[in-house]
Structure 1
Amino acid sequence: MRYEEFTIEGRNAVLEAFRSGKTIDRLFILDGCQDGPIQSILREAKKQDSIIHFVKKERLSQMSETGKHQGVVAYIAAYEYSELEDVFKIAEEKGEAPFIVLLDNIEDPHNLGAIIRTANLAGAHGVIIPKRRAAGLTATVVKASAGAINYTPVVKVTNLVKTMEELKERGIWFVCADMSGEVMYKMDLKGPIGIVIGNEGEGVGRLVKENCDFVAKIPMKGDIDSLNASVAMGVLAYEIVRQRMS
């Protein structure tokens, strides 16, 4: 995947991006390169807990737009990430029970953007994504969100299961969409709730699923067995909207 608008390359440019507080989602360094400037960049990356990839020269050359990458290319977030507290603050300001969307390794940026858009329209107070094996806030995501990214906070966390445990302590119940569950129309989904939506191919991971309080089945009448991740999220979100209005 290439996100040209937010690719930066060259040692000084990348170091300055870190030092100015920009969020670097992924850092690519030439394998075996260990000189002083690269060490400085790695120190900054570790402080920010950026994901670091050591790659061959050919890979960097493919990513590079200028041909002057000097052994380092970085993908910068198109938008700043929020904190969990921001999500609770929005719910409190609106006088509503928290409504959160958790995404387990959604890798398609168009899906992520569509989910943020639907989350906003359904009244969710925030979206949580994992740091690894998932799309970040790239230009494609921002565009697909149709402006919703300006209003719905997106929080990036290192460990989804740990985050779920923290949220449970704050009274959140979790429901995941999975064909093994009970039909969603039979469930009581009122109160503080988090929807968990899984990866486009594999669904919700085992550990994440085990930490859910409910497993909701979306009725399927057709000849194929699954919905697109963003559509599944929309269907489940609007059942929560319906129950909150009744």
Structure 2
Amino acid sequence: MRRGHRPSQSPSNRPRFWGRHAVIAALANPNRTVKRLWGTREAVAALDLPPVLPVTYADVADLGRLVPHDAPHQGLVIEVDPLPEIWLGDLLDQGRDDRRPLIVLDQVTDPHNVGAVLRSAAAFDALGIVTQDRHAPPESGALARAASGTLEQVPWVRVVNLARSLEEVAEAGFWRVGLTGHAKATLGDVIGDARIAIVLGAEGEGMRQNTEAHCDELAKLPISPRVESLNISNAAAIALYAIATRG
């Protein structure tokens, strides 16, 4: 296999996660099935492992061959099954009695961005994130690493039709706010007191027109004109902070 092109999945197409945060969070998640662990003796000794989990001791160089080139595995690699599917209706039912925000991503395909959004969602106690099934990254080592353990904590719903799902979100009582640079109002102008679903599009392309049409309001962040736009994960974090601190 060529240098720099090692897969983060096994031949069985199970994802491989690496690094202490991602591995420890996966092991602690009762909904996650961990199939196998590789690690240095020192790193494995620090873990509380179930007795039935197959463990292979390996040196740093051997672990490096299990993950993409230069991936910071910190002496730990695991092979896992993807998390069980979550239905949007079930997630919305769980949040009917609180005001936690929801994050909806329209064709955001970069695993690092989705992982960072998951981390911000966990930091601000969001209800969960919603993505399209076909236009979102699968669970992977890179995504889990960017999420720093929060892939195991934040519900992630994958839907077939985003527009139809946004209608369901509205029926559940959410005010759907799409973030876009061409909006006239700022986020602070439109969030009010309602339960908020923040909708963000892919970096560069933004939200599709049909997605914008299924938002109740479009809003922008009040950033300097010297900067054209923010990374989607930064925009999500700022929006979640604004919602958490509204009067």
TM over 0.5: yes
Residue equivalent to 2:88 = 84
Identity of aligned residues (%): 28
Q: Matched residues in 2 for 1:110 and 1:125: separation?
A: 20
Higher relative contact order (Cα pairs below 8 Å, separated by 6+ residues): 2
Which of 214, 224, 231 in structure 2 is aligned with 1:221?
224
Residue equivalent to 1:96 = 98
Q: State the Cα distance separating 1:166 from its structure 2 match.
A: 1.5
Alignment: residue pair count: 181
Report the more deviating stretch, 204-213 or 95-104: 95-104
Residue equivalent to 1:4 = 7
Q: Matched residues in 1 for 2:204 and 2:117: separation?
A: 16
Superposed, 1:95-244 pairs within 5 Å as 95-181=97-183, 182-243=185-246
**1:168-220 CA distance string (max 9 Å, x none):** 12222100111122112222342222100110120011000011001111112
AA paired with 2:212?
K
AA paired with 1:223?
R
AA paired with 2:117?
I
Q: Matched residues in 2 for 1:7 and 1:162: separation?
A: 34
Alpha-carbon distance change, 169 to 205 in structure 1, aligned in 2, over 3 angstroms = same
Aligned partners of 2:100 and 2:125 also within 8 Å: no
State the secondary structure of the residue aligned to 1:226.
Answer: coil
State the secondary structure of the residue aligned to 1:225.
Answer: coil
Aligned partners of 2:92 and 2:169 also within 8 Å: no
Aligned partners of 1:107 and 1:200 also within 8 Å: no
Structure 1 unaligned regions, length at least 5? 14-21, 23-75
Q: State the Cα distance separating 1:9 from its structure 2 match.
A: 5.2
AA paired with 1:103?
L
Structure 2 unaligned regions, length at least 5? 15-31, 33-79
Superposed, 1:68-83 pairs within 5 Å as 78-83=82-87
Alpha-carbon distance change, 99 to 186 in structure 1, aligned in 2, over 3 angstroms = same
Report the more deviating stretch, 205-214 or 178-187: 178-187
Aligned partners of 1:99 and 1:124 also within 8 Å: yes
State the secondary structure of the residue aligned to 1:176.
Answer: strand
Aligned partners of 1:189 and 1:240 also within 8 Å: no
Stretches of 4+ aligned residues off by more than 3 angstroms = 76-81
Higher percent of residues as helix: 1
**1:18-65 CA distance string (max 9 Å, x none):** xxxx9xxxxxxxxxxxxxxxxxxxxxxxxxxxxxxxxxxxxxxxxxxx
